[in-house]
């Protein structure tokens, strides 16, 4: 496949739909007050979203074929040429302002792109999300104008690869226990420590990284920085060999007196937890669309198979036990999709109406909790329905299962998500009391 191939019609259609938007609705003249959306945000219409979904599907048919996805999984190598194709298609700046090359379409659109890319390849979509949501959207939400002008164009065009580094060996969901430090020096900070399980870490040019600037202050002493990986002292200790999401390169990062200028501090000093939390709910929301695509992929696999596989003189899909399992798979997918998209729609519509973008922690955590666990179940069902063939690596059923399981672990485990939802309830009831 040629790395110079550009679906020009796709790119033109996306930009025509999403950038000008003047003819879509009078709300275009209103500047939204939301801190979660681009300036002048207008919620996309159903027709916009349908056309976007069809455009992503066409992109995947051309660029992420089943054979290509299988190769990425087998070789465990990410196709870096995909970033420029993503950029040319308009996928990398879904939530960013048009001023920086973005499409300003919001979170429904971001979820749709994530779902359809995951349908084609879970691992490619995961790296996409680490770039477009964890890195780009953090810059969109928290960056200064100078930082956005400096970093967003290259990240949105696909010329640069982005990542986010928070986790450490001893600090996964427990952010406050991180040990990486940032010591103030003339003109900036020296970062020392390690980061673990960092998606896109081995490939990234720019990483949003968290470190303790005032270690004794606990959660009130953490600061976010924008790190250029070409800086002396930065290195990747190892690329990790994972069960699933193979090809989405994940690594351990080493920081040895890495200098970051003051101008690359992201958000206020010692307010890194606030920066992190500002985007965490939205991260959960967009990532919840990954399991949706994997459930679609499982259905794409088993529906034809069960109707073509003849046993006892009839297609196995005519067996009531098989029908029941297929029905459950489909229902789990559609229920998960409805949950995720309804939350995304609420966020977008609130912002378009001049609000701050309705982001409820329990809804975002609930969406990824539910869709992740259902995706693992659906993937297991796909293997069962395909019998012996489902257990073979020649078909993608096993890859779908391995990829799905990550979503119950990464970006906060299912257990932590349940705690997050419970704490959100406690906070609301305490305030009400």
> Annotated active-site positions, please?
283
CA distance 222 to 217: 8
Question: Does residue 92 contact residue 56 with C-beta atoms inside 8 Å?
Answer: no
Q: At 95, list the tokens.
A: 């939530």
- The β-bridge relationship of strands 188-199 and 314-315 is unpaired
Question: Does residue 385 contact residue 325 with C-beta atoms inside 8 Å?
Answer: yes
Q: What share of the chain is helix, strand, coil (3-state, %, to 5)?
A: 55, 15, 30
Q: At 199, list the tokens.
A: 């998606």
CA distance 43 to 105: 7
Question: Does residue 167 contact residue 198 with C-beta atoms inside 8 Å?
Answer: yes
- The β-bridge relationship of strands 188-199 and 250-261 is antiparallel
**Ordered DSSP codes for 11-52:** HHHHHHHHTT-TTT-GGGGSPP--SSS-TT--PPPHHHHHHH
DSSP state of 218: G
CA distance 398 to 335: 23
How far from 138 is each of 56, 125, 129, 286, 350, CA to CA, in Å? 23, 18, 12, 13, 20
DSSP state of 385: H
Give CA torsion, residues 339, 345, 348, 354, to 10 deg.
Answer: -120
- The β-bridge relationship of strands 206-212 and 162-165 is parallel
């Amino acid at each position: 496949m040629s790395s110079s191939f550009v679906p020009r019609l796709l790119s033109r259609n996306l930009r025509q739909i999403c950038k000008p938007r003047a003819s879509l609705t009078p709300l275009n003249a209103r500047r939204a007050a939301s801190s979660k959306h681009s300036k002048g945000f207008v919620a996309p219409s159903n027709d916009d979203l349908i056309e976007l979904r069809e455009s992503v599907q066409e992109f995947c048919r051309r660029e992420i074929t089943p054979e290509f996805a299988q190769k990425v999984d087998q070789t465990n190598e990410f196709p870096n040429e995909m970033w420029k194709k993503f950029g040319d298609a308009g996928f990398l700046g879904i939530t960013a302002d048009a001023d920086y090359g973005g499409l300003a379409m919001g979170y429904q659109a971001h979820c749709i792109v994530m779902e359809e890319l995951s349908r084609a390849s879970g691992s490619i979509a995961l790296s996409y999300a680490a770039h477009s949501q964890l890195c780009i959207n953090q810059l969109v939400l928290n960056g200064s104008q100078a930082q956005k002008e400096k970093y967003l164009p290259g990240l949105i065009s696909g010329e640069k690869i982005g990542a986010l580094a928070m986790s450490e060996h001893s600090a996964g969901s427990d952010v406050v226990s991180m040990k990486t430090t940032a010591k103030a020096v003339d003109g900036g900070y020296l970062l020392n420590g390690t980061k673990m399980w960092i998606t896109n870490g081995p490939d990234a040019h720019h990483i949003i990284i968290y470190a303790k600037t005032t270690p004794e202050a606990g959660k009130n002493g953490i600061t976010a920085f924008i790190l250029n990986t070409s800086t002396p002292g930065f290195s990747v200790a190892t690329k990790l060999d994972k069960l699933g999401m193979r090809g989405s390169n994940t690594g351990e990062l080493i920081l040895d007196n890495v200098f970051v200028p003051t101008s690359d501090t992201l958000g206020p000093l010692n307010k890194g937890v606030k920066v992190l939390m500002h985007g965490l709910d939205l991260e959960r929301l967009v990532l919840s669309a990954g399991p949706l695509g994997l459930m679609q992929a499982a259905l794409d696999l088993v529906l034809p198979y069960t109707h073509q596989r003849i046993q006892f003189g009839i297609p196995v899909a005519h067996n009531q036990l098989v029908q029941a399992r297929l029905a459950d798979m489909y229902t789990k997918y559609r229920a998960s999709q409805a949950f995720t998209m309804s939350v995304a729609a609420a966020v977008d519509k609130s912002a378009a109406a001049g609000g701050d973008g309705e982001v409820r922690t329990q809804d975002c955590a609930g969406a990824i909790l539910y869709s992740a666990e259902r995706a693992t179940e659906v993937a297991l069902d796909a293997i069962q329905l395909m019998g012996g063939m489902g257990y073979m690596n020649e078909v993608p059923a096993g890859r779908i299962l391995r990829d799905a399981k990550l979503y119950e672990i990464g970006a906060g485990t299912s257990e932590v998500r349940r705690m997050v939802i419970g704490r959100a309830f406690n906070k609301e009831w305490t305030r009400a009391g």
